[in-house]
């Protein structure tokens, strides 16, 4: 093992429980062993997910949260001990591997509850009959510390008050449920949370708690609910039963649906560092044995779920600081990197590294570090494309599906949480496969085909693999995207795939193959605008083939256009965004953590945005816009066109010919999609061919 990483593999203790190393798998959606929301009980097939990870050197597992009461029907989990019985075999397997496991228990989301979209989803899935009243949903999920509190996802929806009687019932339920966890062999529990703006955090923060009873006002009163919870658990389970707290050091929140960005000077409306220093001492005195830390609230969601725009090790300095004010161990989460985590642990500034999405992307992540196989690590690119499909727009949820089938899965690794769907067995009848196109779709297809024992030839018309993703990864904040390209190149070298560079295929009949996979991608769209010849494409800019002037107009406020504008702002340019629809970043499928952070960064860098606007002409020095307020002329030394893509249909006729059972299409050449659709289609194409 590289000596730099040795601190990660030293044992430590949480209360009386010894953990074999400093790696904690954090709770994530889709990693729940017990779901207790609409359908209740043990999660079928979840054992396969943990078997991929239990022998891969993770010290402590914390599965996804368990709500104490169901969303529909008011079923309390402590009244249903039978759901813990199927957990015991997995817990035993984890213990046999030398690891430990804590279960995370939740009081609920309060104003962060996804409403009313969740109700509509329940109706669609047949879980409830109608939407006639919000009382269909348990009052425990409709309530917040304050009566009439605005819901995060839809501020027009107002929450009810979480009464003192409800608090007492919850405190009791925490104790009884923790006892069921202990009886099932679970090593400890984690309380979710004075964290991320969930219900207990709403009680703790001044901007969401205006109560005038013993649960409001002073810091001690605002933390009373969380303190009563740990005291009850210790009373029921014993003082030696470990209790962790998921803890946001700072809220990083400017107001309702207003987050701060890294480096910004702002007025904190939630938990400031000054208050956090006092809060963690109160919580420790109440009985908490560990603090599992990051930052943020649902109003600044990206601090707890850092997207690609977030710096690596985003929360580390905050957690290192708060560690000085507690004698209990702290875990730090938020795009944590092993080098920085090891250094901080060695210096005694934190006690363990919390990782989540990276373990969805590569279950062997920790083992590869230990065995010095760093180049084999498939890097998480913080896209949130499958692990966290909670999407929203301008405070109004428009694309929210918390029971989405992708929950807890991974864009880059479709195997995750599909372990029983896909196969890695050798193909029944190995074939000679020719793949046209060396982009992500072509490379993924080649890797999967080779793994299954097929003979593979990959044809790429240029001298480099990566296709359009080379341009997509070019921006300065996409270091992990660049690492992903390196991972693909390294992984292909470990296979028997024959790569033919500088080879353009124009006729499929020229290929000697049993199966042909077309993965030639897409082409940039253009617009019929006078003077469009003065514009450059997004790919031209990202590939560095065209220089930009000082004032840059980006036509298209989708994901790529907004990322380009942010990159230009970082470079000191003066970009503007022109978008024809009412909102930027309005496409479905963009996680709210990503879209809200990018919008806040554009705000912070003062990038002008013109929505409901179209470009009437370009003259090389300016653009003329038609806006809702009339005509506007903007200076533009450079115009970048980012209005989407069209499938490359050069081989489309093959779908309708006698070759249709021999020719498969993967990625954007079939239908323009996303990285998720490209990689999944590659996976499923080889699954079909190999059957």
Q: Which residue has the higher pLDDT, 153 or 282?
A: 282
Distance (Å, whole) CA 520 – CA 461: 10
Is domain 526-643 given the CATH code 3.50.50.60 in the classification? yes
Reported as a single tens digit per residue, the pLDDT across 5-52 is: 999 999 999 999 999 999 999 999 889 999 866 556 888 889 999 999
Reported as a single tens digit per residue, the pLDDT across 235-264 is: 999 999 999 999 999 999 999 999 999 999
Residue 198 annotated among the catalytic residues of the structure: yes
Q: What is the pLDDT of residue 106?
A: 93
Distance (Å, whole) CA 70 – CA 110: 14
SS3 518: strand
Distance (Å, whole) CA 460 – CA 276: 55
What lies within 8 Å, CB to CB, of 300 at 6+ separation is: 251, 252, 253, 254, 258, 259, 260
Residue showing tokens 């660049």:
482
pLDDT of 79 over the 80 cut: yes
Give the DSSP letter string of 167-210: HHHHHHHHHHHHHHHHHTT--EEEEEEESTT-HHHHHHSTTT--
Instruction: Report the mean per-residue pLDDT for the chain.
Output: 92
Reported as a single tens digit per residue, the pLDDT across 379-407 is: 999 999 999 866 655 445 445 544 455 67
| Domain spans, the chain | 3-400, 432-523+646-690, 526-643
Reported as a single tens digit per residue, the pLDDT across 580-616 is: 999 999 887 788 899 999 999 999 999 999 999 999 9
The active-site residue, picked from 50, 198, 215, 247, is 198
Distance (Å, whole) CA 643 – CA 634: 19
Cβ(87)–Cβ(55) below 8 Å: no
Distance (Å, whole) CA 558 – CA 643: 7
Going by pLDDT thresholds of 50, 70 and 90, the confidence category of residue 132 is very low
Q: What is the pTM of this model?
A: 0.94
Structure tokens at 22: 């400093």
Closest C-alpha among 59, 105, 364 to residue 244: 105
Q: What is the pLDDT of residue 133?
A: 42
Number of Cβ atoms within 10 Å of the Cβ of 92: 11
Reported as a single tens digit per residue, the pLDDT across 332-342 is: 999 999 999 99
Distance (Å, whole) CA 452 – CA 472: 29
Q: What is the pLDDT of residue 125?
A: 57
SS3 582: coil
Cis peptide before 193 (omega within 30 of 0): yes
Distance (Å, whole) CA 154 – CA 526: 36
Reported as a single tens digit per residue, the pLDDT across 492-540 is: 999 999 999 999 999 999 999 999 999 999 999 999 999 999 999 999 9
Q: How many helices (H) and strands (E) does the chain have?
A: 19, 34
| Cα 195 → chain centroid | 17
SS3 656: helix
- Please tell me the class of the 3-400 domain: alpha beta
- Name the E strands within 503-569: 515-518, 522-524, 536-537, 551-555
Q: What is the pLDDT of residue 116?
A: 52
Distance (Å, whole) CA 93 – CA 76: 28
Closest C-alpha among 331, 329, 291 to residue 24: 331
Cβ(365)–Cβ(56) below 8 Å: yes
| β 290-294/330-332 pair status | parallel
- What architecture (CATH level 2) is domain 432-523+646-690? 3-Layer(aba) Sandwich (3.40)
């Amino acid at each position: 093992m590289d000596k730099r990483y040795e601190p990660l593999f030293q044992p430590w203790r949480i209360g009386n429980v010894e953990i074999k190393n400093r790696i904690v798998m954090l709770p994530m959606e889709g990693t729940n062993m017990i779901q207790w929301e609409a359908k209740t009980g043990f999660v079928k097939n979840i054992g396969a997910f943990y078997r991929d990870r239990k022998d891969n050197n993770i010290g402590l597992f914390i599965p996804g949260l368990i709500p104490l009461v169901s969303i529909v029907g008011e079923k309390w989990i402590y009244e249903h001990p039978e759901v813990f019985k199927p957990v015991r075999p997995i817990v035993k397997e984890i213990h046999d591997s030398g690891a430990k496991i804590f279960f995370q228990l939740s009081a609920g989301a309060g104003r962060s509850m996804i409403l009313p979209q969740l109700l509509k989803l329940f109706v669609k899935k047949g879980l409830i009959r109608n939407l006639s009243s919000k009382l269909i949903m348990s009052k425990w999920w409709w309530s917040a510390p304050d009566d009439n509190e605005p819901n995060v996802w839809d501020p027009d929806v107002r929450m009810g008050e979480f009464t003192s009687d409800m608090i007492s019932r919850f405190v009791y339920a925490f104790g009884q449920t923790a006892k069921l966890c202990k009886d099932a062999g679970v090593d400890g529990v984690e309380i979710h949370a004075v964290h991320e703006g969930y219900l207990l955090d709403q009680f703790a923060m001044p901007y969401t708690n205006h109560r005038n009873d013993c649960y409001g006002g002073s810091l001690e009163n605002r933390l009373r609910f969380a303190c009563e919870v740990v005291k009850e658990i210790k009373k029921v389970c014993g003082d030696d039963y470990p209790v962790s707290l998921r803890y946001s050091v700072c809220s990083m929140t400017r107001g309702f649906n207003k987050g701060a960005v890294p480096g910004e000077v702002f007025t904190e409306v939630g938990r400031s560092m000054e208050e956090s220093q006092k809060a963690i001492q109160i919580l420790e005195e109440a009985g908490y044995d560990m603090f599992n830390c990051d930052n943020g609230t649902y109003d600044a969601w990206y601090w707890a779920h850092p997207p690609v725009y977030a710096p690596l090790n985003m929360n580390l300095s905050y957690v290192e600081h708060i560690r000085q004010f507690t004698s209990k161990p702290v875990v730090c989460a938020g795009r944590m990197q092993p080098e920085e985590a090891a250094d901080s642990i060695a210096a005694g500034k934190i006690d363990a590294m919390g990782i989540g999405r990276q373990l969805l992307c590569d279950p062997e992540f920790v083992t590869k570090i230990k065995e010095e196989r760093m180049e084999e690590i498939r890097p998480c690119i913080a896209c949130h494309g499958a692990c966290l499909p909670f999407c929203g727009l301008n405070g109004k949820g428009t694309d929210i599906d918390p029971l989405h089938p992708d929950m807890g899965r991974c864009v880059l690794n479709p195997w995750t949480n599909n372990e029983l769907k896909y196969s890695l067995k050798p193909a029944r009848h190995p074939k000679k496969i020719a793949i046209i196109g060396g982009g992500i779709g072509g490379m993924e297809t080649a890797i999967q085909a080779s793994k299954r024992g097929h003979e593979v030839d990959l044809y790429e018309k240029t001298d480099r693999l990566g296709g359009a993703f080379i341009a997509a990864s070019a921006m300065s904040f996409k270091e992990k995207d660049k690492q992903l390209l390196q991972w693909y190149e390294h992984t292909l070298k470990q296979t028997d795939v024959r790569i033919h560079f500088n080879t353009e295929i124009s006729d499929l009949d020229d290929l000697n193959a049993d199966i042909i996979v077309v993965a030639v991608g897409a082409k940039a769209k253009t617009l019929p605008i006078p003077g469009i010849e003065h514009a450059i494409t997004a790919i031209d800019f990202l590939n560095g083939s065209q220089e930009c002037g000082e004032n840059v107009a980006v036509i298209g406020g989708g994901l790529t256009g907004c990322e380009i504008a942010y990159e230009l702002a970082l470079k000191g340019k003066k970009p503007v965004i022109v978008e024809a629809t009412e909102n930027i970043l309005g496409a479905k499928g963009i996680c709210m953590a990503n879209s809200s952070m990018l919008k806040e960064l554009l705000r912070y860098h003062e990038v002008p945005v013109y929505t409901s606007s179209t470009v009437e002409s370009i003259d090389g020095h300016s653009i003329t816009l038609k806006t809702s307020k009339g005509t506007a002329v903007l200076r533009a030394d450079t115009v970048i066109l980012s209005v989407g893509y069209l499938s490359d249909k050069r081989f489309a006729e093959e779908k309708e010919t006698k070759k249709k059972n021999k020719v498969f299409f993967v990625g954007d050449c079939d239908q323009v999609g996303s990285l998720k659709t490209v990689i999944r289609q590659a996976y499923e194409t080889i699954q079909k061919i190999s059957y």
